[in-house]
Every structure is written in structure tokens, then in C-alpha cells.
Structure 1
Amino acid sequence: MATPDTGTKVTEASRVLARVFGYDSFRTGQQDVIEHVIDGGDALVLMPTGGGKSLCYQIPSLVRAGVGVVVSPLIALMQDQVDALNAVGVRAGFLNSTQDFDQRRTVEAAFLQGELDLLYLAPERLRVESTIRLLERGKIALFAIDEAHCVAQWGHDFRPDYLALSTLHERWPDVPRIALTATATRATHREISTRLGLEDARHFVASFDRPNIQYRIVPKNDPKRQLLKLLREEHDGDAGIIYCLSRASVEKTAAWLVEQGIEALPYHAGLDARIRAANQSRFLREDGLIIVATIAFGMGIDKPDVRFVAHLDLPKSVEGYYQETGRAGRDGLPSTAWLAYGLADVVQQRRLIDTSEGDDGHRRRLGQHLDAMLALCETVECRRVQLLNYFGETGTACGNCDTCLVPPESWDATIPAQKVLSVIHRLWNERGQRFGAGQIVDILLGKQSPKVVQHGHDSLKSFGVGTELRDVEWRGVIRQLLAQGLLAVESDYGVLALTPASAEVLYQRREVRMRREPERPAKAAKTAKERRAPVELPEESAPVFELLRAWRGATAKEQGVPAYVIFHDATLREIAVRMPTSLAELGGVSGVGENKLAKYGEQVLEVLGS
């Protein structure tokens, strides 16, 4: 297909959107990017998860002459990405290390013969000379660099192979490049631009707001039971992701959920590769499964109906938290981002930073990331506003996060802070001793614990001066003192120490204000109908929607593809409401393109007529 002139690019892109993907209009920000790339311009695109980044390079690849080459680190998901494109009639293939020689040769031949619209490559393939020679023999429509934040030093999936991508423009100066990511502060944005040589590209920055996600952060108090309450009362039967910091906690949590009658699968880098791949595949292909994972899981996961993302451990950065929570609600339906965190999380993260490899500058950056995450956890303002501000975007109170729905109080904690700091000061100055939070709390409460008696701490002047607060409240005070930099963690044993700022509090030159958690009313459990049928789905349409889901699940299993490859929930809901009686009417439903209409149309009408 020849490259269109300016007068026809919008028409052709809109035709592809409707004919191939089944949508009658672009999402916010998509059209400008697509037009620019079709015209041959380079682009750097920052667009939130679920914002439609993929279409920003898929449609130009179909409109421009040649094959769109997509560089992606998501080797485990390439097959699913290709299956999803094939399902809508797009000719797609991939090359990565999972294929044998014959499989690679088949894809390479299709590329050279012009039988592909999109070719997905792992970044390391571009460091293999045979891949470069292959690309030089074909016609390339564009280069798309997906998950572009992988070039940034903070990225947990940082890949040196990505740094070599800056040379693409030298070899193919006339081929447009589009780099895309869902997560970038202004600093990360600049780093991506510099490392990929995209300073002169046009930069498109969409809003980071995901209004369908409800952000909730709760203090830890038996976190597994708190999680179970969330699942049973609000997300019973829903698909979701639970993040844990360690491999051991992943396996324990998954096993515990199974004991509670909830189907959950573990995922972490230490599992056998076949088990890991099988668990990921089941999560993508089946409805209502929960995956319990380390941060090794999730990037590029295109499952649209993830209804919740839960964190049982504190994320290391706001970038990581935003990226992980963004895997919920890609279909735009109401979803939950839930995080439980406590004093031990803060102690652990501070200790990890202090013992991390790298120079002082690296540790300082890690500390800044953690400070921003703690500020989000401890804010008494709107969570969404705090999150957007971090990414350089101004927002207004959302009315949907936990601090908006049940506003917490800010209280004067100067005297309790002084009591904590005074105990630590006395232990160190009078006895040369340092202890962790548990011992400090026992001293404040006047507990005659064996450890207190053993060390003679019941003779301290501070012993028993803190009976006005409960154990859990004192731990909250210590947690927030750590968050505010008024306490530090030292050594591998997590002992507490004063900081230079502690003196300002001890000697009454600084007020300390803290967040007090509000009493939250218990939420009534949701019924299956309320869970799976959002407010826009009338009650009489819910049974039809469930029939369509059952048909989709069976069809997906038969074809060995994820359910969302057949149709998204949003499309099934619209079908259930509109109840089309002909292929022409079904073709008017959003998400039903020509290929899916031809492939599944009669089956859908048969389900509706049953």
C-alpha cells in the first residue's frame, strides 16, 4: 500500500480503525500520534496503560508501505500479541529465542515476501547481524519501541539491548520511529528521549489519570486476612493480580488463598520456566483467576478484565506502583488498586537501600523514590492528585479514592514523636544500645517483656510514658517518623537511630503532624450480578452477558487463545444490551471488525437466539 498524502491519511486511518479493529472513533490522543507517524515523523508517546498505545503503531503499520517492526522485551507474550492481531485479520509474526530454526525461517520468509503487516522482535535480536541483514532486505514501514522505559535506570526490567536501538536511525534514516511507554516522570521522559536519540522527535504526553481505578492504601493489620476480606466482599470470582516482594511470600500467599477456596497461581523468576509459562497462560486464557507474583510479572499483560491489583508489600517507587496498578481495568470498567503497608515495609525498604550496590548517588535516588512512595501512602489529600502531581500533572480531588471517600484526619503528633525519639536517645546515650521498633513500643507501653527485663529497660525514665496510645498506634507513629526522615534504620537488624532532623523535634523547634486512619464502615458483599454487570448493564441483560462469556470461554479454550482475543467484556456487554438480530446489526457493535464478524458472527447470533 502506498504512503498516503496528507489529504487521505485521516480517512485511511479511520477506515482501518473501523474495518480491522471495529471502533468508530479514536481515543483521546491516538489520532494525532497516528497521523504524525503515517506522515513519517518520529514520536515519543507517553500514554497510560489501557490508553490504546498499540494502535498508535499498528494502524500506521497497516497504512504505510512495508512491515511495522515492533521491538518488545515481552518474549513470553509475543505469541498472544500475534494471536490477537491475527484474530482481527492482521498478518503478524515474531522472532525471538523461543523459536526453533524452522519456525524462524518461516517468519523470515513471510517478511521478505511481503506477507506480514507487523513483525515483533526481542531487542537482543537487533544485536544479531543476521537480523540486521534480514531487515535490510525487506521494506520497513516503521520501528516501534514498546515499553521504552526499559532504557531508564530505575526500570526493574532494564535491558542494555535497548540502548543499541538509538542506532536504528543511522541505518534506516527514512524510517519513522515511535517509542512508547505508560510510565515516566519528567526525568524518566528526558532519559528515554536522550538514550533513544529522540530529542528531535515529536513528544505526545497524554494524561496519566485512570479515573476508573479506585486507589486505596491501608495500614497492615493481619494483611492476608485484610486481603481475603477484599476478595470475598468486593472481588469474588474476579481476575486479579497480587504483588509480593519475595518469591517465598508469593508461594505462601498463593497456597494460602487456595486453602481458602480461591483459585490462585504463583509466578516468580525462581519457578520452573514451564510452570511459570503455564500459570501465565492460564491467567490470560481463563476467567476469574488470580495470579500472585513478584514484579517479574505483568509488563505488557493485555488482559483487559483484571478487576483488581493488590500489593501486600510496599512498592519501591511510585513509577513501579503506577505501572503495576495500571494493569487493572484496561477495559475502562471500575477496578481497584489496593495496597497494605506497615512499619516493617518501611524498615525493610530503608535497609535494602542502605545495603544496595552502587554509589551514594544511586542510593540517594533510591531513597528519593521511596520517599515519594511513602508520601503517597501517608498523604491526607486525594491519592489521585498526589499520583498525578508526581508525574507533573495537575489534578483535582477525584471523589473516588479512599482519602476522598473517607477523609483521614491530620493530628498533632509532636508529643508522641518526642516520646519515641526520647526513648531512642536515652538508650543510645545512657547505655550505648540500639533496638528495633518492637522494643521501643514495649518500653513506651510499660510492658514487662522478657527482653525489657533482661536489659533493665523497665528502669528507664521513659518506661510506661506512652499508655495513651495502643501498640498498633505507636507502630504507626514510628512508621510515619521513618517516612518523614525523623528516624533512620541502621544495620541488617533494623535498629532505629536518630537523624539530624530528630533534634528539631526533641527540642521543640518543629511540629510533627501525622495521618490518623479513619474508622471505615464495613462494605456489604457484592453479588455476582453486581460484580460482573456494571451499572450500565441493565438487569435483564446480565443473563445474556453470562451466556456470551461462557461461549467466549469455550471458544477461546478450543482455539488455545486468551478469552479477550475473541471479544472484550465491553463488546459482550454492548451485544447483550443491543441484542442484534442480524450480522449487519452485530457489525455496528464497538469492537466487532470485519474479520471477527465473519469468524464469530453466526455463533454470537446463535447464542442470542438460544
Structure 2
Amino acid sequence: MHPTSTATTPLDVLREVFGYPGFRGEQAAIIDHVVAGGDAVVLMPTGGGKSLCYQIPSLIREGTGIVVSPLVALMADQVAALEAVGIRAAYLNSTLEPYEAQAVEQRLLAGELDLLYMAPERLVLPRTLDLLRRARIALFAIDEAHCVAQWGHDFRPDYLGLSVLAHAFPNVPRIALTATATRATHREITERLELGEAEHFVADFDRPNIQYRIEPKDRARDQLLHLIRSEHEGEAGIVYCLSRKSVETTAAWLNDHGVAALPYHAGLDAAVRHDTQVRFVREEGIVVVATIAFGMGIDKPDVRFVAHLDLPKSIEGYYQETGRAGRDGLPATAWLAYGLGDVVNQRRLIDQGEGSDPHKRNARAHLDAMLALCETTACRRVQLLRYFGQESQPCGNCDTCLAPPKVWDATVPAQKLLSALIRLERERGERFDSGKVFDLLLGKVNDRTEASRHRELSVWGIGQELSEREWRSVLRQLLARRIVEAVGDFGVLVPGPEAGPVLRGEAAVELAVDRTTTPRSRGRARSGADGARAGSRAADGLETAERQVFEALRTWRSSVAKEKKIPPYMVFSDATLVAIVQARPSSTAQLSAVSGVGAKKLEEYGDAVLEVLVEA
């Protein structure tokens, strides 16, 4: 326990150190279990308060809590956030000079640290294990534990070595935590980390403040710009793309259109990547365009939107990435645009990959589940949670709930498309990609169709009741249902495993009518001066006069953060500022009752906050 703290119970620590009035969900049960010396496997969504589950036991138990974190680049910010609330924290990683690392080791051995962060590859080194044996260790926390799953979306081989802790420190409690795990990944975490005797805690995976929206690509960058300008002007966001080239061109395009955007991918210089992370965390209103390498471990609570311009490979990856939005509990958007090309390309990448057959089957299953989420006409949240083994009711806050999609009987068009594929192969011995198949169905005469040979086919021009755009929608949805498949290097189309019943008239095909815009139920679209005010959506529930106070507090917070060279949220989060505005305290005693105002922050900022409230 920190020598200057008067807190004696987990709830005392929560209130005095972190400034929160009470625990959420299973936090209290997890903390009590670990404080008592028990091992735990914790599955809890991003923003659910996982870090408290090991931070508070580390403060209460004798010794130092050792936290395994996958990203060296973020440890400094993680430590700074703890120091901001009065916790003695440090990190050991390759960024430290030898004398700096030695000083941290001496603090550890002297019992002067509450928490110590390190990467898995450093922890399993014989020298590090010897150091830890000579120290008093309160617990081991293995964060982002899904990295141990070999078929997971963020597999890190170094995590496999962490099973050594079970043998090297049999009497030290271990807690493995992750925000994304199916039953299979959950089982793999348990087995590979040798946590067979651990207590398991599976929280509700729902993030009700996130609005999930998925729409067909139709000039995706224009769609993204509309999202930002109409709903998230001047707010922090992350845009995910699959390729490095797409990351760089999209970031440049957004900048050209007035959005402060930075690219991030593994091919950039390490110093550039570090600078991007620092700016994203410490400045307000920055949009990062990135590959999936970005975001893990970034504890930025006020990311107001996460957008995907390409189809994610799995629901686990999608959930992990979208979970980086709205960690403060305020409204946020998870938006995805995907098209026919995404489906074809993803399947081709799997088929051409060098993995084993079981690995490819697993990848196809992940993709099929992701496509099912994209093409569902029911509540997206219900489908998303069901994937993680949880049942729920329609949420009322996703696109399919807010504006239920229209469906139509597409059985005949599906049969026509399948017949065209069959006729081409049987009568011409040919397979075509989507473009040529559409030309055939529409009876288009151009260089692609080789019309002189194909006009004789009975399927020539049989699909003229639909436009090419409508056929693209039909094909995309048929691919998602495996009624049609795209195979080979060029994505040629063939009947899929589910085609038979459709061709025989034994199964009807109902498809959704595509749409490219979806309504919002909360907040309001903003433009002009109102939209330019950074962070204004965080205050959507405030009255006009309260908004002015909120903006005054944000201005004060920005100046403090700049002076201290820390991210603004380390002063106070947007959610805490909103709570201060609503409470309108007139004394430090009243301010201390606001969620997020702990003892150290009250002492450091209390008088200044009250002064801002008086002047506003």
C-alpha cells in the first residue's frame, strides 16, 4: 500500500485514489479474489474498468504489481496516468538508458513501486526472472491476454512464454485480462497460461454507448468525410484501412479536406509512429488513419468515433478496434463501409495464404461470421454479443434498429445469377469475375463480354430488371451467405455450397435493400461554428449555459495539460468535466464527491476548477 494513503479497503482505494464512488459489475468480486491471493481470468469489454482489477490489488497487497503490457511505446503514458493519481509506477523497457533501468530496478528491490510495467519478451528473460525473485511481488497482471491465442487476431508469440510464471512464482496470484475472447480463445488463454485453477469472470460485453453502423461502400472516403463533418467535427477518431498505401492516401485526402489526420503503419519510421501516438493522445481533435497495428493499449477515453474503410478479418478484431471508441462512456460511433471487392479480396487472401488447411478453415469461419454481422437485417448488437456467447434484446441504438432495412424477395435474381455461372462453365468452359458476369446478365456489349460468343447463351441479358449497382448488392450478399463463391487469383465466380437449394427452388432468398446513410438517435448533426467546437458532442446532454461552462473547463484543462506535457484526459476526462458542470460544486468538499476527482487531483486542481466555475 502506498505509504501516504489512508485507504484500507478496495472501496476506500477506489474513492480516495481514483475518485470513483463505487465499483461496476464484477470489479469488486474480482478485486477481492485477487487481494486474497487467487488467480483470475477476466473477460471485460474495453472501457469496462479492467485496469482497476489489478491496480487496486497491487496497492493493497504487499509488494509490487507486475503488469505485462504488449506495447512498449505506450508504457510511459500508462505510468504517467498512474502517477497523476498518486500511484508509484514505473516501466522497464528498451527505451530506457542502462542507468535509468538500474534506478527502476533499485526502486523495485527497495519496495518503492506500486506497479511496474514490462513487455512479455523482457519478463521471461532469465535476468528479469532473477530480479523478480529478489523482489516482493504483489501479483502478475497479464493484459491483452488474447495475444496468447495462436489463431487470434493479435497473436504475440512472446506471450506463450508467460506460462513460466506459474512455476517460477507459484504463490503469487496471476490475473489475465482481455476485452475480446470467444469461448475458444477463453479456453486457449486458460490452457496456455496454465490458469486451470483460476476463477473466471466474464462481464457483459455490451457497450451501449457505441452506435454500430455498417453500410455499403459508395465512394467510401466521401462517406467518411460526411460522417466526420456532420457528427464528429473536431473530435478524436481512428480510421482503419487494410493496406499501408490506403492509410497514407486516406490521411493525405482528409488533410486536403480540412481534417487533421495522421497516418500510422508498421512501415513508417519508429520516430514518426511515436510522434503520431503522442500527438493523438495529447492533442485534441486528431484523427489517426492506421492499419490494425494502431490502438492496442492506448488509454484515450475520448475517442468519439472508429471508422473502418475495409472489411475487418474477424469479429474479434472488429470488436477490439471499435472498442477504442467511447471509453469514457459518452456517446461514440463505430462505422464501417464495405463492398463487394472486400469480400472477394478477403477470401482470395485466405486461399492464397501460406497457412495450414486448419488455419485457413479458421480464417474462413472468422470471415463468414464478420460477413453475417455486416449483412444481418436484425439488431447488430444482438448478433455481435451472440458471437461472444451472450444473449441480449434489440438495442435501439444501431443502424438496423434505428432504421430497419427493407428486404425483398431476391430468389429469382439469385437463380438467374447462378444459372449464368453454370451455363458459362457447361457450354463455354469459362468462369468470369463479377464485372463480366454483370455484363452478361445486363446484355452489355463491350470488350469485356466478348458479346459475339455469349449472345447465343440463354442467360444473355436475363438480368436487365436490375441495375449493375443492384446486382453488386445482390452478389455481395450472396457471397456472404456462401450461395456464390469467388475463387482463384482473379476472383472468378462459382456456385457456392449453399447454391443447391436456391437453384431447386427449395430455399427463398431475402436480401436487404442497400442504403448509404443511417439516422442518429442521440445528439445532433453539426456544421459551421457549432461543429468546429472540438469535443462538443461530449456535452450533447447539457443546456446552452452549461455548454459554455464545459468549454471553459476544457480550455483550462488544455492549458494545464500543455504546461505539464501530459494528455488532457490525465487532468480530467470529458465525462468528469460534464459531471462537474452538472454538479456545479462551490467547495472542494462538494467537488470531491464528483466521479473521477480523487484526492491527489482534488489537491492539485481543486481550487483552479472552482475558480473557473465562478468566472464562467
Tell me the TM-score normalized by structure 2. Answer: 0.95
CA–CA distance in structure 1, aligned partners of residues 589 and 452 of structure 2? 82
Would you say the 8 A contact 1:452–1:458 is kept in 2? no
More deviation, 139-148/499-508: 499-508
Question: Judging changes above 3 Å, is the alpha-carbon distance between structure 1 residues 288 and 456 closer, same or farther for their aligned structure 2 residues?
Answer: same
2:95 aligns with one of 95, 98, 107:
98
Would you say the 8 A contact 2:124–2:164 is kept in 1? no
Number of the residue aligned with 1:475: 472
Three-state SS of the structure 2 residue aligned to 1:456 is helix
CA–CA distance in structure 2, aligned partners of residues 471 and 187 of structure 1? 41
CA–CA distance in structure 2, aligned partners of residues 609 and 10 of structure 1? 32
Number of the residue aligned with 2:272: 275
Number of the residue aligned with 2:552: 547
RMSD: 1.8
**Cα shift readout 1:299-352 (whole Å, capped 9, x = no counterpart):** 111110111111000000011111111111100011111110110000001101
Number of the residue aligned with 1:575: 580
Three-state SS of the structure 2 residue aligned to 1:576 is helix
Three-state SS of the structure 2 residue aligned to 1:266 is strand
Matches for 1:498-509 after TM superposition, within 5 Å? 498-509=495-506
* AA matched with 1:399: G
**Is 1:591 the counterpart of 2:596 in the alignment?**
yes
Number of the residue aligned with 1:525: 525
CA–CA distance in structure 2, aligned partners of residues 187 and 109 of structure 1? 41
Deviation of the 1:556 alpha carbon: 1.4
Three-state SS of the structure 2 residue aligned to 1:340 is strand
Question: Judging changes above 3 Å, is the alpha-carbon distance between structure 1 residues 542 and 413 closer, same or farther for their aligned structure 2 residues?
Answer: same
**Cα shift readout 1:234-286 (whole Å, capped 9, x = no counterpart):** 11111111100111000011000001011111111011111111011101111
More deviation, 319-328/456-465: 456-465
Question: Judging changes above 3 Å, is the alpha-carbon distance between structure 1 residues 10 and 554 closer, same or farther for their aligned structure 2 residues?
Answer: closer
CA–CA distance in structure 2, aligned partners of residues 502 and 568 of structure 1? 53
* AA matched with 2:357: D
CA–CA distance in structure 1, aligned partners of residues 458 and 108 of structure 2? 79
Deviation of the 1:90 alpha carbon: 0.1
**Is 1:68 the counterpart of 2:65 in the alignment?**
yes
Deviation of the 1:512 alpha carbon: 2.1
Three-state SS of the structure 1 residue aligned to 2:337 is strand
* AA matched with 1:602: D
Number of the residue aligned with 1:203: 200
Matches for 1:380-459 after TM superposition, within 5 Å? 380-453=377-450, 456-459=453-456
CA–CA distance in structure 1, aligned partners of residues 379 and 28 of structure 2? 31
**Is 1:347 the counterpart of 2:337 in the alignment?**
no
Deviation of the 1:74 alpha carbon: 1.8
More deviation, 64-73/583-592: 583-592
Would you say the 8 A contact 2:402–2:519 is kept in 1? no
1:286 aligns with one of 273, 283, 291:
283
**Cα shift readout 1:450-497 (whole Å, capped 9, x = no counterpart):** 222467334432221111111111011111111111122222111112
Deviation of the 1:576 alpha carbon: 2.1
CA–CA distance in structure 2, aligned partners of residues 552 and 170 of structure 1? 47
CA–CA distance in structure 1, aligned partners of residues 271 and 24 of structure 2? 37
Unaligned runs of 5+ in 2: none
Percent identity of paired positions between Structure 1 and Structure 2: 61
More deviation, 262-271/463-472: 463-472
* AA matched with 1:366: A
**Is 1:252 the counterpart of 2:257 in the alignment?**
no
Paired residues, number: 604
Number of the residue aligned with 2:238: 241
Question: Judging changes above 3 Å, is the alpha-carbon distance between structure 1 residues 455 and 522 closer, same or farther for their aligned structure 2 residues?
Answer: farther
1:558 aligns with one of 560, 563, 566:
563
Number of the residue aligned with 1:537: 542
* AA matched with 2:474: V
1:121 aligns with one of 108, 118, 122:
118
**Is 1:317 the counterpart of 2:322 in the alignment?**
no
CA–CA distance in structure 2, aligned partners of residues 311 and 455 of structure 1? 42
Three-state SS of the structure 2 residue aligned to 1:292 is strand
Three-state SS of the structure 2 residue aligned to 1:178 is strand
**Cα shift readout 1:577-608 (whole Å, capped 9, x = no counterpart):** 22323222222221111111112222222322
Number of the residue aligned with 1:176: 173
**Cα shift readout 1:57-113 (whole Å, capped 9, x = no counterpart):** 000000000000001112111000000000000000001122121111111111111
Would you say the 8 A contact 2:58–2:115 is kept in 1? yes
Number of the residue aligned with 1:608: 613
CA–CA distance in structure 2, aligned partners of residues 49 and 522 of structure 1? 25
Tell me the TM-score normalized by structure 1. Answer: 0.96
Unaligned runs of 5+ in 1: 3-8
Three-state SS of the structure 1 residue aligned to 2:579 is helix
* AA matched with 1:367: R
Three-state SS of the structure 2 residue aligned to 1:253 is helix
Question: Judging changes above 3 Å, is the alpha-carbon distance between structure 1 residues 403 and 18 closer, same or farther for their aligned structure 2 residues?
Answer: same
Deviation of the 1:520 alpha carbon: 5.2
**Cα shift readout 1:172-200 (whole Å, capped 9, x = no counterpart):** 11110000000001111111111111121
CA–CA distance in structure 2, aligned partners of residues 459 and 491 of structure 1? 27
* AA matched with 1:200: E
Would you say the 8 A contact 1:406–1:520 is kept in 2? no
Deviation of the 1:48 alpha carbon: 0.4
CA–CA distance in structure 1, aligned partners of residues 577 and 7 of structure 2? 29
CA–CA distance in structure 2, aligned partners of residues 536 and 525 of structure 1? 14
**Is 1:38 the counterpart of 2:38 in the alignment?**
no
Three-state SS of the structure 2 residue aligned to 1:53 is coil
Would you say the 8 A contact 1:533–1:542 is kept in 2? no
Would you say the 8 A contact 1:406–1:518 is kept in 2? no
Question: Judging changes above 3 Å, is the alpha-carbon distance between structure 1 residues 95 and 459 closer, same or farther for their aligned structure 2 residues?
Answer: same
Would you say the 8 A contact 1:10–1:35 is kept in 2? no
Three-state SS of the structure 1 residue aligned to 2:250 is helix
Three-state SS of the structure 1 residue aligned to 2:205 is coil
Number of the residue aligned with 1:143: 140
* AA matched with 2:379: C
Would you say the 8 A contact 2:19–2:596 is kept in 1? yes
Would you say the 8 A contact 2:153–2:316 is kept in 1? no
Three-state SS of the structure 2 residue aligned to 1:224 is helix
Number of the residue aligned with 1:375: 372
Number of the residue aligned with 1:49: 46
Question: Judging changes above 3 Å, is the alpha-carbon distance between structure 1 residues 157 and 518 closer, same or farther for their aligned structure 2 residues?
Answer: closer
Number of the residue aligned with 1:5: none
CA–CA distance in structure 1, aligned partners of residues 59 and 510 of structure 2? 57
Three-state SS of the structure 1 residue aligned to 2:307 is strand
More deviation, 530-539/358-367: 530-539
